[in-house]
Structure 1
């Protein structure tokens, strides 16, 4: 999952920086803004390198202005904010040693070696000091160090920076490139009046001209982090922050975070009594409560119906297998680190299955197959277990035990292109039925290294087949180099939720390798034995993950057809309860999940309780309703429709559910007139 981005600035025309002139002077002469969200803070040269506005080329140079509200502009603001944070930390904690402080998506961080962990009070004090630094308008000034020895002398009190310098003198690494590129450079923060150095950091830059060009920032949280990401190294304190081109942009981002927190499926799961994660079971192993079980059942029920209509055949496979099966498939050793350790008994190693495909291949291979049976579409709600690291486990969206809605389609090479197009259409249509409709596709291709199996020719053919199917869909296609599974390329369907976040949903993979490893074959029309193509497809990814995504997409207010309780009857007084029990009986006859609240709570409290529980239809009844044989509708948004005849009310609810409407019913959208 990823956060949505604010719109980037419109592209600006190129500017020529005359020899001996600063880029900043050329930008000003061109009349481009120096303040505001679209202010130009850096430029990009013809080689694509970002340059400070203080950069002075030796010859005339054409540059592209980079606005603050572009992705690169924000990254530079955030990198500069990281320097301000580091300066504030070393002023507040003089003994602090510096790690690294890069910009990251939507923010920045900086790592520090300090005597004790930072507290919330420390963050507040550091943010206050940062505001003072920003207000002082210190100037960022680039300085090239003469040599590695000069760098060692200057940085003698910074052990982690010295380590980066030593690495640079031995070999180029991504980490070292972050602190110098082709040369070792320091960025000094200079006092605007005296020009004297206030603070400095080993860094390749670029930076905004002055600290005043950091319009909005906020420190967010503290976490522990190992130096250079290795547990063999010291543990540092990492401070995360965010910074933006304007206070308005930052406020919008913080509101998105707040809304995401309100929608957090873990929080809603507890509040709505849907699921939990008992400590006794272990991390990443959820249990579904009765209400969550209903939502899950309805999700699976509709998916099963659609698969049956589309010619899928249902299979079932065990949770555990001998190790040899996963050696044949290649998951051992290629996937071993994400599988639970083996269980040993009767002289054999057994593994909890992390995927269903090897067992589906055994079903295909169990007897002879004719070309007339193809494409053969096998489908399973298959439970799998993956050893996700503790820091990665996240509620239902990244669990250790989950159920994949897994399909494997066996087809001839000639059938593959059409099957892929049909499969992608089926996936998109079914996701849309659950209320997701904003999609783009990601094409994950083979990368370098020895983790990929199969010939270059097979990979090229599979990749091109997938690419063409993706293009035929008309959706945006984003490349993901190196992101393929070890046995074949894949398309991932990325879906945006109600607040614009992207979630990876369905995956479709083309596989020439497993058929070879499992010696899969079918009899062709000419009597020869041929190898099928296997298409791997997980539509939801997993039932659990999709449950979590839908919970956040709908903020727990599930569509009526998925809601665990679809209707609650609320009598105004005890004597009106029998009337609502008869209404409930009529609704149950139409398959509606309905309850009547006969508790001792007052009517208004009952309405609040069930609205908080996000029940889509509340039916109220008082004396007039009983006399008229009617009920009054109350909806989640607080709107109400009074005096609806019971028969009509039952039809309205049943029709709404049967149509699988994904919107929440309201007085405006529900037609109660016959």
Structure 2
């Protein structure tokens, strides 16, 4: 059994009211509590915005597909042991999808495509399902129902390197905003056996492309056999938990296999049909694993923009409650998540300790209420002299709106 460490997300996630599980729902199927749902929603919206700005178009696709879909993609032959068994439906067999790529391939081929449309970048935050054994399930890191930040770029051969490099840069940018430090970059290659598609030429081409991308990035990396996807090699971005256990969070993959299997094509400048290449990429991988890592990386003290509550108003007594309520209304107008921790929750000191993970604590005493001010305490221990509430909220909004990991470089 996995041994807990100090910032183990399974313990912290429950203590902080982020997620939980119930035997009636089942193993590997956690549910999200309001604060955890806020973190998840904020993370998902951040990723969607990053993708939109990078030229991705978002789609939705069903979590079910006919067995034949996965026979064509190769998942049924190479990945069946990790899939849930088929369900009989109207004389057909349907399967909970283990991956989103077959659906995106079908979306691509839903109409004729021209080289002028390429690269076509399709993204989705979609559900997928893995039939994980009970012994490996735990918290949010190994689950059976997964929300995946997935995307597939359909492009020409000479666009592959640029698209893969751009995807890698998106991952690095997101890590800076999230405060994530990868432990290493891995070029994941095939190993021996029937686990992988038998197409030596395609493997050589795709491996050469990803090798060039890594070499061009200047990042140190190591090549590891036996870690590729069944259809192609990957760049895997590895992270580690507090106990040193390593896992893959983000990935970039080159796939010549599925475009051929699904008979994808585009009309080139020469008027002939050509085969596109699929670049698979995921900025944060599964939302579940990403949040698990963020809990452990930050000990529950999320970056200000990601925190469940960004500010807590602390009226010293009941008399200052109207001032705290006015502050909350202004927070809502500015898009800041805030709550009031009033005297009914205990002494001011006890409330400050209870809110230790909230980035900003706004203390409102009699003097501050009269002057329309707050005395701001930052999560890192800094205390500021009372200043106008509007000025405080304006400055707090900066790191929140800018997706910064910094609290606020204040002038004193």
**Aligned match of 2:161 in 417, 420, 423?**
417
Name the SS for the 2:271 alignment partner. Answer: coil
2:75 pairs with 1:331: yes
Deviation of 1:637 (Å): 3.7
Runs (4 or more) in structure 1 with deviation over 3 Å come to 495-503
Does the CA-based 8 Å contact 2:195-2:230 persist in structure 1? Answer: yes
- SS of aligned partner of 1:278: coil
Work out whether 1:636 is the aligned partner of 2:375.
no
Q: Which residue of 2 aligns with 1:232?
A: none
Task: State yes or no: 1:536 paired with 2:275.
Answer: no
Name the structure 1 match of 2:388.
645
Q: How many residues align?
A: 411
* 8 A Cα contact 1:499 1:553, kept in partner: no
> How far did residue 590 of structure 1 move?
0.9
Contact 1:652–1:670, Cα closer than 8 Å, also in 2:
no
Query: Which of residues 380, 383, 397 in structure 2 aligns to 1:654?
Result: 397
State yes or no: 1:279 paired with 2:18: no
TM-score, length of structure 2 as denominator length: 0.95
Given the alignment, which residue of 366, 389, 393 partners 1:623? Answer: 366
- For the Cα contact (< 8 Å) 1:561–1:660, is it kept in 2? yes
Match of 1:548?
292
Q: Any stretches of 5+ residues in structure 2 without a counterpart?
A: none
Q: Kindly state the Cα deviation for residue 507 of structure 1 after the two structures are TM-superposed.
A: 1.1
> Over residues 116-135 of structure 1, what are the superposed CA-to-partner deviations in whole Å (9 max), with x where a residue is unaligned?
xxxxxxxxxxxxxxxxxxxx
The answer to whether the 8 Å contact 1:454/1:513 transfers is no
- 1:671 equivalent to 2:403? Answer no
2:269 to 512, 518, 525: 525
| Match of residue 429 from structure 1 | 173
**RMSD between aligned residues:** 1.9
Residue 606, structure 1, aligned to residue 345, structure 2: no
Q: Distance in 2 between matches of 1:670 and 1:424?
A: 30
Provide the C-alpha distance between the structure 2 equivalents of 1:423 and 1:492, rounded to a whole number of angstroms.
12
* Local SS of the residue matching 1:316: coil
Find 2:335's aligned residue among 580, 591, 600: 591
- Distance (whole Å) between structure 2 residues aligned to residue 627 and residue 450 of structure 1: 75
Matched, 1:441 2:185: yes
- Aligned twin of 1:270: 14
What is the CA–CA distance in structure 2 between the aligned matches of 1:375 and 1:513, rounded to whole Å?
18
C-alpha separation in 2, matches of 1:499 and 1:615: 26
Maintained 8 Å contact 1:488/1:510: yes
Higher RCO (Cα < 8 Å, 6 or more apart): 2
Distance 1:345 1:496, change over 3 A: closer
Q: CA deviation at 1:537?
A: 1.3
Match of 1:32 in 2: none
Distance across 1 between alignment mates of 2:162 and 2:400? 34
- Deviation for aligned residue 1:316: 0.6
Tell me how far apart the structure 1 counterparts of residues 243 and 388 of structure 2 sit (CA, whole Å): 38
- In our comparison, the structure showing a higher alpha carbon Rg is 1
Q: TM-score, normalised by structure 1?
A: 0.59
Q: Secondary structure at the match of 1:262?
A: coil
Offset at 1:607?
Answer: 1.5
1:489 & 1:660 partners in 2: Cα distance? Answer: 32
- Separation (CA, whole Å) in 2 of partners of 1:322 and 1:501: 36
- Aligned partners of 2:315 and 2:343 also within 8 Å: no
- Does the CA-based 8 Å contact 2:316-2:342 persist in structure 1? no
